[in-house]
Amino acid sequence: MALEVGIVGLQSSGKSLLFEALTGTRATGEVGMAAIPDPRLQQLAEVVNARKVTAAAVRVVEVRGTGPALLGNLRQVDALLVVLDGFSGTRTPADDLETLNLELLVADRDHVERRLERVSKQAKSGDAKLKKEADQLERLLAHLDAGHTLADWSEELPPELEPLTTKPVIAIVNGAEGVDLKLEAELAELPEEEAAEFRSGGESALGEVVRRLAETLDLITFFTAGEKETRAWSLRNGQTALDAAGTIHSDIARGFIRCEVVRWDDLVAAGSHAEVSRAGKQRLEGKTYVIQDGDVLNIRFNV
């Protein structure tokens, strides 16, 4: 399951432009994939003469406005990208961020209230667990109505809740001061070389956004380097070889036997899988091995 990020912002702040800049497709208020740029990938692809090169990607969801119903579409995402108008000269980004935080809070209050209604009804059956959750939700609602947030609730939240206000937030000021999203969206439509030429060596401001996202989510990258396809994949820091297998395909996780691991730069320096193995730089690891950023994996599995 790919990691997912949601785009939120006030009307005309540049949400659709960010979606387009990240995914290279025009926003239809839907879902797209944003590639995570990684210079190591191309080097690996060249070493193995890969016919296909695939970057790691995160799913991006744009919601068309605010309000509990629309924001509710973001309950499953791993992080929020908040777009703030810094280009029109008519808005104050810091104030808009406060407004958006309030919108998220209102959406969460609505979420808690709805859940409370449902659970109290079900709890009439006498189920002790439901009764306990209803009591918890009632106190939580009072906590919110007293001007507090879910984030400063001292007890554990009921696991059934999917709050928005506890998600990591990455704020992007759209404009010359921050990221010029109009420009980035236009560049996203150009072939990669032309866009790079336009930037004349300077890096994409969008790259910075993606990097902040990867940092916020504590992501690491591992690679699979085959001739048919060389590919980068994202994992959360601390995840294992078995998690890596599951990221590639559930069948590979199910049939996991062992995993050959080389460091990406050892492979590039050696020039081939055969050479790096001959140099003794390839290790065999099991299911519980904790993947390190930059590992190149070859997972052996039974089907």
Q: For the chain, report the end-to-end CA distance as a whole number of angstroms.
A: 20
Q: Which of 6, 14, 163, 178 binds ligand GDP (CB under 6 A)?
A: 14
Q: Is residue 12 close enough to count as binding ligand GDP by CB under 6 A? A: yes
Tokens 């109505």, residue located: 145
Q: Is residue 247 close enough to count as binding Mg ion by CB under 5 A? A: no
Considering beta carbons, is residue 10 or 48 the nearer one to Mg ion? Answer: 10
Q: Are 174 and 19 in contact (CB under 8 A)?
A: no
In the bound complex, what is the minimum distance in angstroms from residue 71's beta carbon to Mg ion? 14
Tokens 């994939």, residue located: 33
Q: Which of 9, 93, 163, 178 binds ligand GDP (CB under 6 A)?
A: 9
Q: Is residue 26 close enough to count as binding ligand GDP by CB under 6 A? A: no
Task: Tell me how many residues contact ligand GDP (CB under 6 A).
Answer: 14
Looking at residues 16 to 35 of the shown chain, list those that interact with Mg ion (rule: CB under 5 A).
16
Considering beta carbons, is residue 145 or 189 the nearer one to ligand GDP? Answer: 189
Residues facing 28 on adjacent strands: none
Q: Is residue 87 close enough to count as binding ligand GDP by CB under 6 A? A: yes
Neighbours of 58 (CB within 10 A): 24
In the bound complex, what is the minimum distance in angstroms from residue 16's beta carbon to Mg ion? 3
Considering beta carbons, is residue 161 or 205 the nearer one to ligand GDP? Answer: 205
Of 10-18, 114-122, 187-195, 278-286: span binding ligand GDP (CB under 6 A): 10-18
Q: Please name the residues in contact with 16: beta carbons below 8 A apart, sequence gap of 6 or more.
A: 26, 27, 62
Considering beta carbons, is residue 104 or 185 the nearer one to Mg ion? Answer: 185
Q: Which residue is nearest to Mg ion (CB)?
A: 16
The C-alpha atoms of residue 116 and residue 118 are separated, in whole angstroms, by 5
The C-alpha atoms of residue 223 and residue 293 are separated, in whole angstroms, by 9
The C-alpha atoms of residue 212 and residue 22 are separated, in whole angstroms, by 13
Structure token digits, residue 264: 């990406």
